[in-house]
Structure 1
Amino acid sequence: MKAAVDPKLENAQAKGRASVGRPRVSDVLPSEDPRQDIVEAAARLFSNKGLANVSVREIAAEAGLKKASFYYYFASKDEIVDAMIEGLLDPALAAQKRLGKADLSEAARLYLYLHQDVEALCAAPYDCTWLIANCDLTDPRFQPYVKQRDQLIAWLAARIRKGKASGAFADGDASLIAKAMLSATENSVAWVDRSSVRQIAHAAEELAGLLVRGILAPDHDFAAVKAEADQFQF
């Protein structure tokens, strides 16, 4: 989930129709990739109005396309949603896998994951938190996303339990804390200035630090955790 091209868009482009030109409503093109423009436009509208309340015509207009041109790139609104969520959490799972193998304390491991998650989410080309807020996650098409999100929570909970067992973390419900932590990083996109790399980095450091300090045992120093984390390179 870094600032590189989002994997779900790459997957969608590979599976979808070739991205050759179709007429635009405006001569000012948002990018050279109409499919990505459509996905980003849809994400903005879904976030503001909800999935059910957005029409294909609105998405096309937001992307600077005529409605007829929209259908060259996507067969339906549902196909846009599929493109958005396919592989959405793969980068986060990959980060957890790498951190899980690293020689780190659980506190530093947790801090690093939370930090990179905020950076990745805020630097992503669009915000998909509307999925959690506005969609019926029992819908079968969302189940791969739900399953992967549950994996993220389980990994966080495992880190917290291990940290508690070693005496690094204070007592608490590991599963509940893990859910709260993931929710905090996901919703950072709502208040961070995503146009500023500096602000994203600052928010990531502050939020990750706040979350880890909140569960550290009284006799553990966050400065030591931060110093350890600073030695690790993604």
Structure 2
Amino acid sequence: MEKDTREKLMETGERLFSEKGLSGVSIRELAREAGANSALISYHFGSKEGLYSAILEKQFSPINALLDSVSGTEISPTEKILTYARCVAKVHGTVPFLTKFLIGEIINPSRFFEPFIQKYIHRIYNFLVETLREGIRCGEFRKNIDVNTAALALAGMMNFYFITRPISQRFVPGDSEQDKEFVMKAVEIFLNGVANYGNE
């Protein structure tokens, strides 16, 4: 079935905005690349900014689904982190432009940085900190770990791989299974570092 105009504009916007940022893409370029009348951008999204906002929501909403699937479950803190890691690999695989939007907004933030990017990043950070604290309380993790540093370190381990993927792929071609394998090995290293082996 042929894609409708709204879907075409979303797909075109994903590609162009991820490459050039919000300010680097004109309405005329968006319409031309999507094969649509520029007036349809206003019709479907209100403005170029409205299209960008809709695309950001699409890119980052899987993070909420990720955390919803893990938070509040009756599994151990270690299993929560393992589940989170598996979901990170899946999210990056299903939303390939996510990393570009994240980097772009960090380097050159638009007015959407606060309501979108920071909202999702803050939720991930809180989830990791609370899971680490839970692990300390129940004796799974060492008491002397700094949960803030550990949360940032884990998030970095999970996401840096995908940020550098466009470069590393030139030397070490991979696929979604390799991505998942890397993420799980990285989280295993992290968990070995924070685990309480009975010394505390």
Partner of 1:133 in structure 2?
Answer: 103
Bigger relative contact order (CA 8 A; separation at least 6) = 1
Q: Please tell me the residue identity of whatever aligns with 1:61.
A: R
Q: What is the match of residue 35 of structure 1?
A: 6
Mapped partners of 2:68, 2:194: distance in 1: 29
Report deviation, 1:81.
1.4
Shift of 1:117: 2.1
**Aligned-pair CA distance for 1:43:** 2.0
TM-score normalised by L of structure 2: 0.72
In structure 2, the CA distance between the partners of 1:151 and 1:128, relative to structure 1 (3 Å rule), is same
TM-score by length of 1: 0.63
In structure 1, C-alpha distance between the alignment counterparts of 2:50 and 2:189, rounded to whole Å: 42
1:152 equivalent to 2:124? Answer yes
Cα separation, 1, equivalents of 2:195 and 2:141: 10
Which blocks of at least 5 consecutive residues in structure 1 are unaligned? 1-28, 222-234
Number of aligned residue pairs: give it.
186
Q: Secondary structure at the match of 1:86?
A: helix
In terms of fraction of residues, the more helix-rich structure is 2
1:178 to 114, 137, 151: 151
Cα-Cα RMSD: 3.3
Classify the secondary structure of the residue corresponding to 2:98.
Answer: coil
1:116 equivalenced with 2:87 (yes/no): yes
Q: CA deviation at 1:83?
A: 0.7
CA contact (8 A) 2:18 2:100 kept: yes
Partner of 1:46: 17
Show the counterpart of 1:191.
165
Answer with 150-159 or 55-64: which moved more. Answer: 55-64
Counterpart AA for 1:81: Y
Q: What letter matches 1:214 in structure 2?
A: F
Letter in 2 for 1:102: T
Asked if the contact 1:41–1:62 (Cα under 8 Å) also holds between the matched residues in 2, the reply is yes
Pairwise CA distance, 1:123: 1.0
Tell me: CA distance 1:91–1:132, structure 2 relative to 1, closer, same or farther (3 Å): closer
2:133 maps to what in 1? Answer: 161
Q: 1:60 to 1:183 in 2, by over 3 A?
A: farther
Matched, 1:200 2:176: yes
Q: Give the residue type in structure 2 aligned to 1:93.
A: N
Compute the displacement of 1:208 (Å).
3.1
Q: Is the 8 A contact 2:59 2:97 kept in 1?
A: no
Alpha-carbon distance in 2 for matches of 1:189, 1:40: 21
Give 1:116 deviation, angstroms. 1.0
Task: Give the conservation status (yes or no) of the 8 Å contact 1:122–1:189.
Answer: no
Unaligned runs of 5+ in 2: none
Q: For residues 184 and 137 of structure 1, do their structure 2 counterparts lie closer, same or farther at Cα, with a shift above 3 Å needed? A: farther
Q: Tell me how far apart the structure 1 counterparts of residues 22 and 104 of structure 2 sit (CA, whole Å).
A: 7
Distance of 1:89 and 1:200 partners within structure 2: 19
- Mapped to 1, the partners of 2:147 and 2:4 lie a distance apart of 42
